[in-house]
Every structure is written in structure tokens, then in C-alpha cells.
Amino acid sequence: MGAYNYLPRTYQLNSLFLYRPKIKRIVITSSCASLTREGTKPTVTFDETDWADQAIQTVKEQGSKAAFMTKYRASKALAERGE
């Protein structure tokens, strides 16, 4: 993992308050791929409980034969959850 520290976002934000005087800017990056699933309609509202679990399960079942975007969504969900 190199010099980077991958912690759940809540730990990162709690740390922010501890070091607040020294921090000038925060950039949080994420990918909607970590929570979308096939067939999701554009009007769906997501929250912190939504993950691309369908993609993760498909990759577990199909392995390298899973579609590229399915593998991408699964990798993003696992990375964001810290798994």
C-alpha cells in the first residue's frame, strides 16, 4: 500500500477534526461504480448502505469470465469498503 493509509472514511473524517488547524483543503474521491447495479434507474437515490453487491457476487461466481464493467464495479465496491 505504499505511503498511503487506507482507512474507512469515518476514521479519515475524525482525523480531520483532530488536525483541523493545519488542513487547508479536503478532496474526497469516489466512484458511483461502487454502488450501482445492473438495471438501476436514473431516479434511484443511493445512501451509505448501497454497494455493488450484485457485481461482487457475479465475479465470485464467474471469475475472469465476468464482464469487464462487472469486475470494475466489484473492484470499486471492495476498495471503497476496504476489503
Residue 78 CA to residue 10 CA, distance in Å, equals 16
- CB-CB contact of 56 with 77 (8 Å): yes
Instruction: Confirm whether pTM is higher than 0.95.
Output: no
Domain assignment present for residue 67? The answer is yes
Tally of structural domains, the chain: 1
Residue 42 burial class via C-beta count within 10 angstroms: exposed 0-12, middle 13-18, buried 19 and up: exposed
pLDDT digits (tens, 9 = 90+) for 2-49: 344 445 556 667 777 777 777 777 666 678 788 877 776 667 777 778
Domain holding 16, by residue range, is 9-81
In the chain, the N- to C-terminal Cα span, in Å, equals: 13
Domain assignment present for residue 1? The answer is no
